[in-house]
């Protein structure tokens, strides 16, 4: 159902999912996904807390989905545990991962199909040029 995205926190790797529950929480906290992105650029000190909260949210949803699908009972780390386990330079890497997880959750799949159609057309054009060139 979702792209397999993972976030490494300390020595463990967790699934991360952006679903409707995560969207609702982000809307409550920031007003929307775009506003979240803007908020994360404002104040670096506050952004650390927000990144930890967002990572905990995405990982929490990934674990909740895994628990639901697999019948497991794994616990997600909270924002304080995430800050405890992450080094400052890892926040930069996780920023990219966060937005990748959000993009995957928001992507309807139509963009991928459009790219595939363009590739098919391009292949046909290139194939016809090769056939025409061979005839000449």
Assess if residue 55 is contained within a domain: yes
* φ/ψ bin of 127: left (φ > 0), alpha (ψ from -120 to 50), beta (otherwise): alpha
Assess if residue 123 is contained within a domain: no
| pLDDT (0 to 100) of residue 132 | 47
Residue with the bigger pLDDT between 109 and 105: it is 105
- pLDDT over 80 at 22, yes or no: yes
| Domains of the chain: total | 1
Assess if residue 118 is contained within a domain: no
Assess if residue 130 is contained within a domain: no
Assess if residue 99 is contained within a domain: yes
- Domain span holding position 38: 5-108
**By percentage, how much of the chain surpasses pLDDT 90?**
48
Assess if residue 132 is contained within a domain: no
Assess if residue 50 is contained within a domain: yes
**pTM for this predicted structure:** 0.75
Average pLDDT over residues 69-98: 89
Assess if residue 52 is contained within a domain: yes
pLDDT band at 60 (very low <50, low <70, confident <90, very high): very high
């Amino acid at each position: 159902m979702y792209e397999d995205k993972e976030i490494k926190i300390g020595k463990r790797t967790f699934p991360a999912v952006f679903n409707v529950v995560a969207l609702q929480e982000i809307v409550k906290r920031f007003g929307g996904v775009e506003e979240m992105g803007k908020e994360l650029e404002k104040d670096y000190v506050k952004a650390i807390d927000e990144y930890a909260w967002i990572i905990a949210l995405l990982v929490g949803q990934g674990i909740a989905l895994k628990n639901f699908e697999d019948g497991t009972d794994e616990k997600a780390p909270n924002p304080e545990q995430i800050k405890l386990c992450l080094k400052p330079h890892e926040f930069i890497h996780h920023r990219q991962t966060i937005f990748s997880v959000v993009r995957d959750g928001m992507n309807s799949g139509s963009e991928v199909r459009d790219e595939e159609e363009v590739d098919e057309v391009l292949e046909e054009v290139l194939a016809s040029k090769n056939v025409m060139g061979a005839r000449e």
